[in-house]
Amino acid sequence: MTRSIFWRIAVLVVCLVAGLLVATTRQVSHGNEIRAGDSTRLSDLVRNAQSETDQVAQTRDDLAAQVESLQQDAAASDSGVAQALADSKALATDAGLTPMTGPGVTVTLTDAPRDADGKYPVDASPDDLVVHQQDVQSVLNALWVGGAEAVGMQDQRIVNTSAPRCIGNTLLLHGRTYSPPYVMSAIGDPARLEAALANEPGIRVFKQYATRFGLGYSEAASGQLSVPGYAGH
């Protein structure tokens, strides 16, 4: 291929890609200008993505149930398969893939509410009134330091690859979005967990803001908590 032919083909490919991008942009915006500050459109995109995520998760769960059924059928007639399944379940427990139940502690964080007149404190900035990522992380860190055997947040399992992120006043975890209250539960010795929470500097700061601006912080020990298994998002 000569150099001139190569460049003609390259230019054609670039034009085709550019045309595709323009067409996609027009389709997404319905012919309107896309503005970075258009929160309504962003909310629609988030809801659509959430719906697609839920559908994929349901398909995954259905397939996992079918695989589990096939494995149990095979294990019933083959001792080798049965042993392999037992070994894999032990590994799954260590990896956080299986649900756990036991004593532990639950911590709940909430944004500050408005007063009776529908107003916030006059001396507060917007950042003072919402739960931030570092607040969530402080609680999770304290629970692990306190010897938690399993930690869950909202309806999901926290594992070593989990990275909860606060975006505005919502939380993104494993591809799903959540609004306050943020509920974190840990299975372990309640006394050790509560001591670790009390000693966490980030939590002490959050409690000060809770007292001043009305942010919500609560923790409760329980003799029976349930934490789901990691679903592999």
Percent of the chain clearing pLDDT 90 (strictly above): 46
pTM: 0.64
Is residue 187 located within the same domain as residue 163? yes
pLDDT at 28: 42
Is residue 182 located within the same domain as residue 219? yes
pLDDT band (50, 70, 90) for residue 72: low
Q: Which residues make beta-bridge pairs with 219?
A: 107
Q: Determine, yes or no, domain membership for 128.
A: yes
More confident residue, 42 or 215: 215
Q: Determine, yes or no, domain membership for 146.
A: yes
**Which pLDDT tens digit goes with each residue over 156-215?**
999 988 999 988 789 999 989 999 999 999 999 999 999 999 999 999 999 999 999 999
Q: Determine, yes or no, domain membership for 38.
A: no
Is residue 111 located within the same domain as residue 215? yes
Give the distance, in angstroms, between the CA of residue 161 and the centroid of all CA atoms in the same chain: 11
Question: Which range among 45-49, 113-117, 206-210 has the greatest average pLDDT?
Answer: 206-210
Sign of the dihedral defined by the CA atoms of residues 187, 188, 190, 195, in that order: negative
Count of structural domains within the chain: 3
What is the domain range of residue 76? 58-94
Is residue 82 located within the same domain as residue 181? no
Is residue 87 located within the same domain as residue 146? no
Given a contact cutoff of 8 angstroms between Cβ atoms, the answer to whether 174 and 231 are in contact is yes
pLDDT at 120: 74
**Which pLDDT tens digit goes with each residue over 169-179?**
899 999 899 99
User: For residue 94, what are its two tokens?
Assistant: 């260590």
Is residue 175 located within the same domain as residue 130? yes
The CATH number of whichever domain residue 171 belongs to comes to 3.30.70.1880
